[in-house]
Amino acid sequence: MSGTVAILLALHRSQGHLGDLLGSLAGQRYGDWAVHAALDGEDDGAVAMIQAFADKQPQRTILQPGPCRGFAANFLDLLSNVGPQAKFAAFCDHDDVWMPDKLARAVGALSQLPSDEPALYASRSIVCDGWLSPIALSPHPDLWQGFRGALARSIASGNTMVLNRAGIDLLQQARADGGSPAFHDWWAYQLVSGAGGNVVFDPTPSLLYRQHGRNVLGSSVTWQGKLRRLRAILNGDHRRWTSEQTDALWASRHRLLPENQQLLDQFRKTRPSRPLVRPGHVALSTTEK
């Protein structure tokens, strides 16, 4: 079990919670990692925190300017810049707190899979309030639906995701195809599953998922998260997001298995022209953002 993990940290109005996250990175039991951080927008003090962290850590920390086109573009720019020395890449949200064994468990699970096949690890999380008091466990995703299910909704939580080298290569190649997904993690799951890669889900939580007023959607186990999802359906945001995801996938259609190319074609033909609300499905539209 070895290989450098590129921790992809997207920064935007991060100063308030960043210290807790950085402390949890420093406490990882798996020590072969490097932080790749990108600041989107004005600096609110996060740069100084990153520099102070880099001065204290033996691991490498790289800070770059973000594209200022939203969180998905920021994460995907970070992913595009991961060099060949990294064997794994982990998406990292600035307001979470990682469990000490998060990277060790992810690398251990991915190392059991064929290294030449794209693979994605994800896990449950402990949903917490703004002061990190636990609220509930995140839902267990319906992974059995695979690529078909992922066309309509995000299945795994991006802040827990770790990719192997073949998965990094797949997403970097797909990024060069020109697609611009609304959600980087949804797109990552769609591509890895659609290309016939491996998805492993860890039922043991790997992080504390902080809920606060600036979550894009927040956890689906909280009433705020459910309300945001309902609002996204009613105002058409969810339909727009789904279209953006599908268009991004279409740019990389040739990277999918033949049967999944057909599923994508069918899905594009049958997309609803207006948002639909199905009772009992509001919380399932898009998971843990």
- Per residue in 166-179, pLDDT (tens digit) is 999 999 999 999 99
DSSP state string for 125-139:
-EEE-TT--EEEEPP
pLDDT of residue 155: 86
Mean pLDDT of 203-228: 65
Contact 127, 221 (CB under 8 A): yes
Mean pLDDT of 12-29: 93
pLDDT of residue 61: 98
The CATH class of 4-284 is: alpha beta
Say whether pLDDT at 64 is over 70: yes
pLDDT of residue 241: 76
pLDDT of residue 219: 45
- DSSP 3-state of 24: helix
Say whether pLDDT at 52 is over 60: yes
Say whether pLDDT at 221 is over 50: yes
Domain ranges of the chain: 4-284
The residues with which 260 forms a beta bridge, in sequence order, are none
Identify the residue with better confidence: 37 or 215: 37
Q: Categorize the per-residue pLDDT at 273 as very low, low, confident or very high, splitting at 50, 70 and 90.
A: very low
- Per residue in 102-121, pLDDT (tens digit) is 999 999 999 999 999 999 99
pLDDT of residue 1: 62
pLDDT of residue 233: 52
- % the chain with pLDDT above 90: 73
Say whether pLDDT at 223 is over 60: no
278, with CB counted inside 10 A (0-12, 13-18, 19+), is exposed
Identify the residue with better confidence: 227 or 44: 44
DSSP state string for 38-88:
EE-SS-SSHHHHHHHHHHH-SS-EEEEE--SS-HHHHHHHHHHT--TTEEE
Q: What is the mean pLDDT of the chain?
A: 87
Q: Categorize the per-residue pLDDT at 2 as very low, low, confident or very high, splitting at 50, 70 and 90.
A: confident
Say whether pLDDT at 68 is over 50: yes
